Amino acid sequence: MCGIVGYVGKRDCTEVLMNGLRKLEYRGYDSAGIAVFQNGEITVAKSKGRLDDLEERMKQDGAPIGQVGIGHTRWATHGEPSDVNSHPHSGGRVTIVHNGIIENYKEIKDFLITKGVSFDSDTDTEVVARLLDYRYNGSPIQTISETVRDLKGSYALGIIFADHPEQVYTVRCESPLIVGVGELESFIASDVLAIIEYTRNYYLLEHEEIAVLGRDGVHIYDAFGQPVQKELKTADWDVETIGKGGYAHFMLKEIHEQPTAIRNTIRPRIRDGLPNLEECGITLEVLRAFRHIHIIACGTAMHAGTVGKYVIEKLACVQVTVDIASEFRYRDPLVGEGDLVIIISQSGETADSLVAMRLAKKLGAKTLAIVNAMGSSIAREADMLIYTYAGPEIAVASTKAYMVQIAVMYLFAFELALAVGKIDETKCRSFVHLLEQTPDVISEILNHKEQTQYIASSLITADSLLYIGRGLDYALSMEGSLKLKEISYIHSESYAAGELKHGTISLITENMPVIAVATQKALWEKTISNIKEVKARGAKVILVCRKSDVVDKDAVDMRFGLPDFDDMLMPMIAVVPLQLIAYYTSVLKGNDVDKPRNLAKSVTVE
């Protein structure tokens, strides 16, 4: 998704903006630009492509020199990636950068055309710049406040006015934006990461709040231009936490951070050996009140929810449905009072999930958010909240966030099963104890991961792959398959192993490797039969199972041996080799592992 940075202070603004934009690269983008006041005039530099392309352009044309400005990385929505469609966009006296989508841009554009306004780009952003300019009466706050009332959609804007060269203005509606406060300097950014090397203090802007940044500090106003007082927050991450820490890629670092992320997430929620989610607003009484649970999420978070469904239904015998957030909203869902809707999201800003959560609330359900990003929209709007403590996840391919989402799903399932009397305290303690052991088991895998590189090297020439499994292994296959396709660009699908024979097996040839996951003892024989079916049709089979499992040599070509562990918690263990196989395949193919093409880390458009 697009990234915004803005600066007012004493430093070299171009350098601050470019540094900040580099920190936001993980969000995904296809063009970039900055606008800086140079000798009182707004100077714009922008380019299609990566930040290196913009830097190259500035080397040739001269980089703007100044101390006040705004910058942007664009992920194209309206209009192709091109120099002209890149932000910033100017509308005369007003220059802006924009994150999000203006749904009624066409209507506004038509109106402005009737007023003689002309346009250079295809973007919805230029429409906002021109509308602001059309309305501008010398008072930026009043103009912004009046203009945003006409905008429909989600947006965060960074704005500079040609006749206010000492200020940056900003306003947000749905799309995230923070305002950083330093010593005689201030910042705006889509993410704290962009400014953390300069300041840890920041304000979270609420819906339709407007901020004015100057060297004398930050002033914040509500949608009607009335001043508001806000709590200054402090980010507690250090710069090392957000660097690569010696790893070749963020993804590899984040895979290795999983044991710590699990410990950080579960420890505060375990008391006397039992799950305790009271600080999140979840007590045994609250849990007993729910008759049905809906889990809503997207992508990897939805896969974590799928693991949750298997575990909750098995342990607590409460019915769970899992929905893709973008489908939930449009299928007249049967959700209402007495239901619990769990929203899982790393970023807490995914538009599909946020909108689905609002709908669930409107229908009378209670909502519980499982979110990694502090203070994000989903975290703020949910009735109950469990933060996952994975720390910042930079790689677009989610790994440690998935891990802690599952860890929370287990804790939740244990507590629910206890609440509804399906397990007693002794059983519950034994489950919690197993969960506490998972970080050590994962570390063991991370210390012996060479086999995953070997497996990856056998996959790089494949055009297409299948991941198969049964039960929890099927839930896990979905995640393995998504991980591989998003960063290796090799097509892959996950299939319930028993479903193959109903159609998909016709795809099997010697050119279609199959990655089979078999960690569930009760399903072992059945999965092995399915493996033999694909092997007999020429597939190269890679099996992920326990080291101790005895497999017929002719049935598989390669295998990854997992440490012995409890069946129910195996998804947390077995996902690690799947993440590593995807990672090394991407590395071997020479792809941009942390920033795969066409993808964004935080998807803030529906």
DSSP 227: B
Residue 353 binds to ligand M6R (criterion: CB under 6 A) = yes
**299 contributes a contact to ligand M6R by CB under 6 A:** yes
Nearest distance, CB of residue 552 and ligand M6R, angstroms: 34
Nearer to ligand M6R, 145 or 388 (CB): 388
Active site residue 13: no
Encoded tokens for 596: 């795969």
Instruction: Indicate which single residue of 347, 388, 438, 488 sits in contact with ligand M6R (rule: CB under 6 A).
Output: 347
Interaction pattern, residues 256-295, with ligand M6R; x per rule: CB under 6 A: ----------------------------------------
Q: Is 601 part of the annotated catalytic residue set?
A: yes
Q: Which is nearer to ligand M6R, 425 or 592 (CB)?
A: 592
- What angle do helix axes 400-419 and 425-447 make, rounded to 10 degrees? 170
**What Å distances lie between residue 430 and 259, 310, 436, CA to CA?**
19, 19, 10
In three-state secondary structure terms, 102 is: strand
Beta-carbon neighbour count of residue 529 at 10 Å? 12
Which one of 14, 306, 350, 585 is in contact with ligand M6R (CB under 6 A)? 350
Q: Which residue has the tokens 């206890």?
A: 418
Residue number, nearest CB to ligand M6R: 299
**154 touches ligand M6R by CB under 6 A:** no
Residue reference for tokens 């198969």: 468
Residue reference for tokens 């020199």 = 65
- 300 counts as binding ligand M6R under rule CB under 6 A: yes
Q: How far is the CB of 152 from ligand M6R (least distance, A)?
A: 23
Tokens, residue 384: 């109950």
Strands 491-496 and 464-469 come out as parallel
Q: Interface residues for ligand M6R in 445-504 (CB under 6 A)?
A: 482, 486
The distance of closest approach from Cβ of residue 602 to ligand M6R in the complex, given in angstroms and rounded to an integer, is 6
Burial environment of residue 119 by CB neighbours within 10 A (0 to 12, 13 to 18, 19 or more): middle
Query: Which part of the chain contacts ligand M6R (CB under 6 A), choosing from 86-94, 140-148, 396-404, 549-557?
Result: 396-404
The region, left, alpha or beta by phi > 0 then psi within -120 to 50, assigned to residue 126 is alpha
- Quick check: 397 binds ligand M6R (CB under 6 A)? yes
Q: What part of residues 301-340 is at the interface with ligand M6R (CB under 6 A)?
A: 301
Block residue for tokens 């005895």: 550
Residue 346 in the binding site for ligand M6R (CB under 6 A): yes
10 Å CB burial of residue 44 (0-12, 13-18, 19+) is: middle
CB 482 within 8 A of CB 451: no
Name the catalytic one among 2, 13, 173, 428.
2
Query: What is the per-residue binding string for ligand M6R in 97-126, x denoting contact by CB under 6 A?
Result: ------------------------------
**66 vs 299, which CB is nearer to ligand M6R?**
299
| Whole-number Å distance between alpha carbons of 338 and 289 | 7
Number of amino acids touching ligand M6R (CB under 6 A):
16
Window contacting ligand M6R (CB under 6 A); options: 46-54, 392-400, 494-502, 564-572: 392-400
Select from 18, 195, 298, 570 the one that contacts ligand M6R (CB under 6 A).
298
Catalytic residue among 23, 366, 449, 601: 601
Residue partners of 147: CB distance under 8 A and separation at least 6: 128, 131, 132, 135
**Count of helix runs (H) and strand runs (E) in the chain:** 19, 26
What kind and span of H or E run contains 432? helix 425-447
Which pairing describes strands 153-161 and 94-102: parallel, antiparallel, or unpaired?
antiparallel
Pick 185 or 257: Cβ nearer ligand M6R:
257
CB of 524 to ligand M6R, least distance (A): 29
Single residue of 190, 265, 398, 438 touching ligand M6R by CB under 6 A: 398
- On whether the CB atoms of residues 42 and 95 are closer than 8 A, the answer is yes
Positions marked catalytic: 2, 601
Binding site for ligand M6R (CB under 6 A): 298-301, 345-347, 350, 353, 396-398, 482, 486, 602-603
